[in-house]
């Protein structure tokens, strides 16, 4: 099975990075989250309700919709790289949806990605307030285009993991949240102006995956 | 085109499409209400949320949607359209976007109604939630209020895109294939407005006259009860239980600021009218004149439920003609509000704005004086003979003063100017009365409230008089002005040289500002 890959590019000012990233992440996760599954007898299950919430950006003339889940929002905001927004640079964020495949001992479960969203962020530094104001509007318009792109991909109705049985639900969904259930995902960053950083990130991820049992 | 769909699946599909259409309308209209929408997630299925999404139902909107559908479903050639338009407070309207729910003939016979179609419709609704925030009308709707409002209209049939102007753009929200056809949801939006942007409407000056405040309460009634959705996991074929939906919904009595225009939706016009009635009194500025020609600016405090003011003070004195305006106080053109019987802080000011009454007429007209704070006496018509000095018990018991106070005992001479005018234009005298009846101007002691005489050499009244008549600035006098100008010009090169030396400091300072 091939992993579906989508790439989005945005140019933002330093203080807009976090909001732009969150807008994209939340829009994708809105489409890739369901209500909590409640399994019953005979293999049936019921699904909880997903609420939504409008979020106004402070540094961009833009409003996006996210899932009403504080836990999910906190988890996304915890990602440190979102805040590393100083100076010029080119960074890349990957949001990867994956399925776990059980392996025999001593091997750890395999994580098989089925959809990867890559957002390339070009951070610019602006000198005057007027430029910033123009940037606010322009970035808002660009993000509107990105949302339309995301929605277009989502509605192609391409591969989605099958709805799992109760025993396998943790291989497909992140069941750790109380109110919603997104597909299993992970977020990684790469800042290309510091090669050392990118290597460290990759090594860290490899070690984490290997040790995870 | 009918397929091998069994009757149960057909029923379910029809129900899904019907409620999808209703929810679509709700999402679109709620996104144009002008405020942020927030609904809660629920881990347990409530049984009342179609497509596992918390989308509230506004009853008026549902009613309008059902009325438009009239028991039919979107089909080939029969689309459900939601038209969003803008209407200014002057009555001009413009279509902004048209959302279309269409069905075409392309069928997907293999798809499972109960599971796949339902989930894809849910996904499509999520996409609609996202897309409704990115079209240009969203930002306009967030700023609706004084200058314009956003309206909606639902119709069923052929899509009418003529009102969107030239060069409109379309965005496809998504499609869902079903055994009876493919459902497509799209939006066509005007782009001219995108270039005008909200700036145009922000720059529009406030409408003079009545300003209508369109903020209304938000109606969020509870939705009808539904049974929980039960699903089978993949691979099982036994029957599935679906939610049974009651069509009836509670009618909401609150009103709602967006409503469709003119001939199509008279009921919704009523909703708009109701919404206008439900809002608090607007902030209204108007110029009113009393019968006696007094000009006052009436101010009705606004949005917090302000109380309309009582009218201007009726002034007795039939002698006062329309043109006769008495100068009573030093202040010009100020506004005030007064209630007749208030004992709180009130002022009544009558200002003269035109006309120069003869002194005799002035004297014979009624003076409505400024009354100090916390005065018990009602501020009604005051005649010359019944004037009371405020805080009379604190006033100096200077009979001479009172005698010469023309407000108490007006001079008989017709050439005498208004006593207050006289006091204003005097060069200021401190203390004591100087009722010099031989002069044209009668010097009196001007008694501001709370003042006491003879305690300080410079009392409040003196200060007040001097303040009213300051000496002319020396720089404004011609000789001195010319001299200083010449000196300034001569010294310019030196000053420039000094500034140039400090250029770096200035640049550093400017950089700290950025």
Q: Which residue of B has its CA nearest to A129?
A: B514
Residues in contact with A172: Cβ distance below 8 Å, sequence separation at least 6, in sequence order? A99, A100, A161, A162, A163, A164, A183, A184
DSSP 8-state code for residue A62: -
Give the per-residue pLDDT at B77.
Answer: 83
Distances (CA, A) of A8 to A12, A22, B339: 13, 14, 65
In contact, B291 and B65? CB cutoff 8 Å: no
Min Cα–Cα distance to chain A from B226, Å: 13
Distance CA B389, CA B371 (A): 9
DSSP 8-state code for residue B116: I
Give contacts of B240 with chain A, Cβ < 8 Å.
44
Give the per-residue pLDDT at B397.
Answer: 53
Could B45 and A155 be called an inter-chain contact, meaning their C-beta atoms sit closer than 8 Å? no
Residues 167-186 of chain A with CB under 8 A from chain B are 178-180
Q: Given B44, B124, B233, which is nearest A45 (Cβ)? A: B233
Min Cα–Cα distance to chain B from A141, Å: 8
Write down how long chain B is: 514
Give contacts of A35 with chain B, Cβ < 8 Å.
41-43, 45, 52
Min Cα–Cα distance to chain A from B175, Å: 7
Give contacts of B231 with chain A, Cβ < 8 Å.
44-47, 163
Give contacts of B124 with chain A, Cβ < 8 Å.
155
Give contacts of A40 with chain B, Cβ < 8 Å.
230
Min Cα–Cα distance to chain B from A111, Å: 22
Could A53 and B36 be called an inter-chain contact, meaning their C-beta atoms sit closer than 8 Å? yes
A130 in reach of chain B (CB within 8 A): no
Give contacts of B30 with chain A, Cβ < 8 Å.
none
In contact, B341 and B376? CB cutoff 8 Å: no
Per-residue model confidence as pLDDT tens digits over B177-223: 999 899 999 999 998 764 444 444 544 443 343 333 344 333 333 33
In contact, B182 and B75? CB cutoff 8 Å: no
Q: Which residue of A has its CA nearest to B31?
A: A54
DSSP for A89-137 reads: EEEEEEEEEEEEE---TTSPPEEEEEEEEEEEEEEE---SHHHHHHHHH
A63 in reach of chain B (CB within 8 A): yes
User: Could you tell me how many CB contacts below 8 A there are between chain A and chain B?
Assistant: 148
Could B514 and A129 be called an inter-chain contact, meaning their C-beta atoms sit closer than 8 Å? yes
Could B39 and A54 be called an inter-chain contact, meaning their C-beta atoms sit closer than 8 Å? no
Q: Given A44, A128, A152, which is nearest B230 (Cβ)? A: A44
Name the region of A138 (left: φ>0; alpha: ψ -120 to 50; beta: rest): alpha
Give the per-residue pLDDT at A39.
Answer: 87
Give the per-residue pLDDT at B365.
Answer: 41
> Could you tell me whether strands B295-300 and B284-289 are parallel, antiparallel, or unpaired per DSSP bridges?
antiparallel
Distance CA B449, CA B373 (A): 9
User: Quick check: helix, strand or coil at residue B249?
Assistant: coil
In contact, B118 and B16? CB cutoff 8 Å: yes
> Using CA atoms in the order A152, A156, A161, A164, what is the torsion angle rounded to 10 degrees?
90
Which residue, among B323, B365, B326, has the nearest Cα to B349 in the 3D structure?
Answer: B326
Our CA angle for B269, B270, B276, nearest 5°, is 95
- Below-70 pLDDT ranges, chain B: 1-5, 193-458, 475-484
Could B142 and A63 be called an inter-chain contact, meaning their C-beta atoms sit closer than 8 Å? yes
Q: Which residue of A has its CA nearest to B41?
A: A51
A20 in reach of chain B (CB within 8 A): no
DSSP for B133-154 reads: TTSHHHHHHHT-SSSEEEEEEE
Could B52 and A61 be called an inter-chain contact, meaning their C-beta atoms sit closer than 8 Å? no
Find which of A51, A66, A139 to mutate to test the B interface (most B CBs within 10 Å of its CB).
A51
Could B233 and A43 be called an inter-chain contact, meaning their C-beta atoms sit closer than 8 Å? yes
- Below-50 pLDDT ranges, chain A: 85-86, 194-197, 213
Could A52 and B38 be called an inter-chain contact, meaning their C-beta atoms sit closer than 8 Å? yes
A31 in reach of chain B (CB within 8 A): yes
In contact, B181 and B75? CB cutoff 8 Å: yes
Q: Given A36, A46, A63, which is nearest B138 (Cβ)? A: A63
Q: Which residue of A has its CA nearest to B138?
A: A63
A125 in reach of chain B (CB within 8 A): no
Residue indicated by tokens 């005008």: B196
Q: Helix crossing, B118-131 with B7-30: angle to 10°?
A: 10
Q: Which residue of A has its CA nearest to B142?
A: A63
Give the per-residue pLDDT at B450.
Answer: 66
Could A48 and B45 be called an inter-chain contact, meaning their C-beta atoms sit closer than 8 Å? yes
Give the per-residue pLDDT at B346.
Answer: 38
Distance CA B190, CA B197 (A): 11
Distance CA B75, CA A106 (A): 57
Give contacts of B234 with chain A, Cβ < 8 Å.
162-163
Name the region of B87 (left: φ>0; alpha: ψ -120 to 50; beta: rest): beta
Residues 132-151 of chain A with CB under 8 A from chain B are 143-144, 147-148, 150-151
Give the per-residue pLDDT at A96.
Answer: 93
Could B229 and A43 be called an inter-chain contact, meaning their C-beta atoms sit closer than 8 Å? no
Could B54 and A68 be called an inter-chain contact, meaning their C-beta atoms sit closer than 8 Å? yes
Could B127 and A31 be called an inter-chain contact, meaning their C-beta atoms sit closer than 8 Å? yes
Could A163 and B233 be called an inter-chain contact, meaning their C-beta atoms sit closer than 8 Å? yes
A59-76 burial: b if 16+ Cβ within 10 Å, else e: bbbbbbbbbbbeebbebb
Give contacts of A67 with chain B, Cβ < 8 Å.
41
Min Cα–Cα distance to chain A from B124, Å: 7
Which residue, among B92, B102, B98, has the nearest Cα to B160 in the 3D structure?
Answer: B98
């Amino acid at each position: 099975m091939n992993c579906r890959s989508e790439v989005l590019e945005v140019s933002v000012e330093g203080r807009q990075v976090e909001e732009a990233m969150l807008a994209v992440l939340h829009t994708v996760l809105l489409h890739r989250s369901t209500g909590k599954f409640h399994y019953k007898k005979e293999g049936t299950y019921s699904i909880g309700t997903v609420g939504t919430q409008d979020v106004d950006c402070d540094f961009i003339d833009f409003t996006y919709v996210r899932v009403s889940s504080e836990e999910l929002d906190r988890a996304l905001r915890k990602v440190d790289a979102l805040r590393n927004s100083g100076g010029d640079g080119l960074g890349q964020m990957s949001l990867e949806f994956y399925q776990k495949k059980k392996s025999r001992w001593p091997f750890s479960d395999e994580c098989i990605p089925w959809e990867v969203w890559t957002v390339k962020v070009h951070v610019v530094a602006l000198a005057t307030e007027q430029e910033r104001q123009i940037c606010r509007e322009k970035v808002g318009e660009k993000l509107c285009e990105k949302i339309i792109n995301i929605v277009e991909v989502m509605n192609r109705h391409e591969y989605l993991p099958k709805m799992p049985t109760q025993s396998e639900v943790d291989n497909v969904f992140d069941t750790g949240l109380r109110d919603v259930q997104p597909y299993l995902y992970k977020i990684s960053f790469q800042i290309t102006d510091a090669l050392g950083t990118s290597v460290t990130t990759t090594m860290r991820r490899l070690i984490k995956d290997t040790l995870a049992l | 085109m009918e397929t091998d769909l069994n009757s149960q699946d057909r029923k379910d599909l029809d129900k899904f499409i019907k409620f999808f259409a209703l929810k679509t309308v709700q999402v679109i209209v709620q996104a144009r209400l002008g405020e942020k929408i927030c609904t809660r997630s629920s881990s347990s299925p409530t049984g009342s949320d179609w497509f596992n999404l918390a989308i509230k139902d506004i009853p008026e909107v549902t009613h309008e949607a059902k009325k438009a559908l009239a028991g039919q479903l979107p089909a080939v050639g029969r689309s459900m359209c939601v038209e969003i338009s803008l209407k200014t407070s002057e009555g001009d309207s413009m279509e902004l976007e048209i959302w279309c729910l269409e069905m075409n003939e392309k069928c997907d016979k293999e798809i499972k109604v109960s599971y796949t179609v339902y989930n894809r419709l849910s996904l499509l609704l999520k996409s609609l939630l996202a897309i409704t925030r990115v079209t240009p009308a969203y930002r306009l709707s967030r700023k609706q209020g004084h200058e314009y409002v956003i309206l909606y209209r639902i119709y069923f049939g052929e899509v009418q895109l003529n009102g969107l102007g030239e060069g409109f753009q379309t965005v496809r929200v998504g499609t869902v294939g079903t055994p009876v056809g493919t459902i497509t949801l799209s939006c066509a939006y005007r782009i001219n407005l995108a270039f005008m942007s909200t700036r145009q409407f922000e720059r529009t000056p406030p409408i003079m006259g009545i300003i209508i405040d369109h903020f209304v309460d938000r109606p969020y009634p509870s939705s009808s009860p539904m049974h929980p959705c039960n699903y089978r996991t993949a691979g099982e074929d036994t029957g599935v239980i679906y939610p049974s939906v009651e069509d009836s919904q509670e009618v909401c009595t609150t009103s709602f600021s967006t409503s469709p225009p003119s001939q199509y939706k008279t009921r919704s016009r009523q909703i708009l009218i109701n919404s206008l009635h439900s809002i608090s009194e607007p902030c209204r500025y108007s110029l009113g004149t009393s019968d006696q020609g007094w000009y006052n600016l009436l101010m009705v405090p606004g949005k917090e439920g302000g109380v309309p003011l009582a009218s201007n003070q009726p002034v007795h004195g039939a002698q006062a003609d329309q043109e006769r305006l008495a100068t009573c106080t030093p202040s010009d053109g100020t506004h005030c509000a007064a209630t007749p019987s208030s004992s709180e802080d009130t002022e009544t000011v009558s200002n003269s704005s035109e006309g120069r009454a003869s002194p005799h007429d002035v004297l014979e007209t009624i003076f409505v004086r400024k009354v100090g704070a916390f005065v018990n006496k009602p501020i009604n018509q005051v005649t010359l003979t019944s004037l009371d000095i405020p805080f009379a018990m604190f006033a100096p018991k200077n009979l001479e003063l009172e005698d010469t106070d023309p407000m108490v005992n007006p001079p008989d001479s017709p050439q005498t100017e208004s006593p207050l005018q006289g006091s204003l234009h005097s060069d200021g005298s401190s203390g004591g009365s100087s009722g010099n009846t031989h002069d044209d101007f009668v010097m009196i002691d001007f008694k501001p409230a709370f003042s006491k005489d003879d305690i300080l050499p410079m009392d409040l009244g003196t200060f007040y008089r001097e303040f009213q008549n300051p000496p002319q600035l020396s720089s404004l006098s011609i000789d001195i002005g010319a001299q200083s100008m010449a000196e300034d010009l001569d010294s310019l090169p030196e000053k420039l040289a000094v500034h140039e030396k400090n250029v770096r400091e200035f640049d550093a300072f400017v950089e700290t500002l950025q």
